[in-house]
Each structure stands twice: as structure tokens, then as C-alpha cells.
Amino acid sequence: MARAIWSGALSFGLVTVPVQLYSATAEHRPVFHQFAAGTADRVRNQRVNERTGDEVDYSDIVKGADTGGGGHVMVGQDELDSVAPGQSRSLDIHTFIDLDEIDAIYFNKTYFLGPSGPEATRPYALLRDAMGDSGKAAIASFVMRGREHLAAVRADSGLLVLETLFFADEVRDPHAEIGDLPGEVQVSGQEMRMACQLVDSMTGPWTPSDYRDTYTDRVNDLIEAKKDEKEPQPAAGPPAATNVTDLTAALRASVDAAKKTKGAGP
């Protein structure tokens, strides 16, 4: 049974539901440690006082905010908690919306939201079923791990799922980040038709189990090969960019290949 990473109260209107938050995803990647090159000596990170060079215990470390000109103010966790009393244990619903109104760029991380104790069962089920019937998602906010989170809560497969969202000022303007975005580009009608045909021929259902982290698989194969003192097999390099003059031919070949793959079945 997984441990809750946050517990508090989900509030909508005058109804309050005690809830707990659980991680919905887990990464499965090999764990690498740091070693001094040419040795089996582990390298470890230490918290060091930059003035004295002495190591500092984690319990003796406090947070300081830069005020400019080399100045800092020290802020304790109790002071941070006092800024918004109760908010660190409150998940407040502000409004309900259609989930497809949220651009995918705003989604950050997924969590499961479960009831906290027997007294939460009925109001939890009521909110879950009402949201499921209406097809709406709730926009809420809460404080966890020292920062405020915006979140979308939705009903899914018999439970409530919480997706943390980026705030608007955390999403970068692509035109400010990328200087060479193409504007209006002249393409032929044939190229556009074939591009749309390629999209159509490659369209299929979303089946998550069809996809696997093959890079991690190759890293694990590399580790096993080195453990057994075998020669690791390198992967093929990236494909070359399509020549603009060969674009129509590349599209035609891609459509033909996609049709053959789709016709062969899984």
C-alpha cells in the first residue's frame, strides 16, 4: 500500500472532504552513482559552509532569500507556514470547467486523490460521481512542499485524479524563445494532400501499453553487457533531414509504408 504524500481537505461550496494525495506514476530507470574516474571510490555531495569549509547537518540549514547587493533575509519554515495558515492542508475548488479547455502545455504531474478515513467516503463518492456525470473538471489550488500548486481534479475509473498545472506566468512564449519559427510557407496542393493522407494513414487508437521506454531498455542492456564483460551493441544514428526537393517522394513513400504497416496489424 502506497503512502500518501499529502493530506488535507478538499472543499467545494460548503462541503469539505478529507482527502489524501498519492503519486500516480513511477519511473523505472537504472540508478547511477558518481565515482572518481579510474577508481571504485564513491563521490558524495556534501553541504559545506563556504566560509569555513565545514560540513553542515541538514537540520542546521535554514532558507535565505536574496535581497540584492549581497544581502539576504533568513526565513524559517514556521514563518512560511504562517503566511497562509491552513492553506497547506486545504485543497480549494474555485470553478468547474470542461477538461478540454486546458491546453496540454499546462499539465505538469498526475496524482491519485483518495478519501481520508471512513467519514470521507460518502462526500468523496458524491463529488466523484457528480463530476463524472457532468464531465467537468475542478480547478483548485493547494500548498505542498513549500509552494502553491494550481490543479485540475477530474473523475476517472472510480476515483478522483489530480493534475498539477503550471501557472500562466510559468509557460514561456514560444515566439520569444525560438527566433526562427517559420511564418507563411508556400507548399503545393499535392504536398498538403499527401501530408494529410499520411496523418490519416498513421491514425489509430491510443493504447499506452503499445509504447515502451526503449532507451532505458538499451541502457540496461549496456549495463548487463559490461557486467558480463561483453562488447555493447551501439544503436543506429539519427536519420538525415529530408531534402526539400525530395519532400513529395518522401511523403509518398511514407504513406505507402504506413498503409502496409497498418494492413499487417499489430
Is the pLDDT at 239 greater than 80? The verdict is no
pLDDT tens-digit profile of 10-49? 998 888 999 999 999 988 888 999 999 999 999 999 999 9
Is the pLDDT at 265 greater than 70? The verdict is no
- The model's confidence at residue 106, banded by pLDDT at 50, 70 and 90, is very high
What one-character-per-residue DSSP string does the chain give?
A: -PPPSEEEEEEETTEEEEEEEEE-----------B-TTS--B-----B-TTT--B--GGG--EEEEEETTEEEEE-HHHHHHHSTTGGGEEEEEEEEEGGGS-GGGEEEEEEEEE-SGGGHHHHHHHHHHHHHHTEEEEEEEEETTEEEEEEEEEETTEEEEEEE--GGGS--HHHH-TT---S----HHHHHHHHHHHHHT-----GGG---HHHHHHHHHHHHHHTT-PPPPPPPPPPPPPGGGHHHHHHHHHHHHHHHHHH--
Query: Residue 86: its pLDDT value, please?
Result: 54
In sequence order, the 6+-apart residues with CB closer than 8 A to the CB of 11 are 17, 90, 91, 92, 93
Q: Which of 76-90, 104-118, 185-199 has the lowest mean pLDDT?
A: 76-90
Instruction: Return the closest-CA partner of residue 99 out of 161, 168, 47, 10.
Output: 161
Instruction: Give the CA distances from residue 228 to residues 38, 88, 223, 235, in Å, rounded to whole numbers and listed in that order.
Output: 19, 50, 9, 19
pLDDT tens-digit profile of 70-88? 899 998 877 877 776 555 6
Q: What percent of the chain has pLDDT over 90?
A: 48
Query: Residue 101: its pLDDT value, please?
Result: 94
Is the pLDDT at 187 greater than 80? The verdict is yes
Set out the domains of the chain in order of their start, with CATH numbers: 6-25+82-167 (2.40.290.10), 182-201+211-236+244-264 (no CATH)
Query: Residue 194: its pLDDT value, please?
Result: 87
Query: Residue 73: its pLDDT value, please?
Result: 94
**Pick the residue with more confidence: 84 or 196?**
196
pTM of the model: 0.77
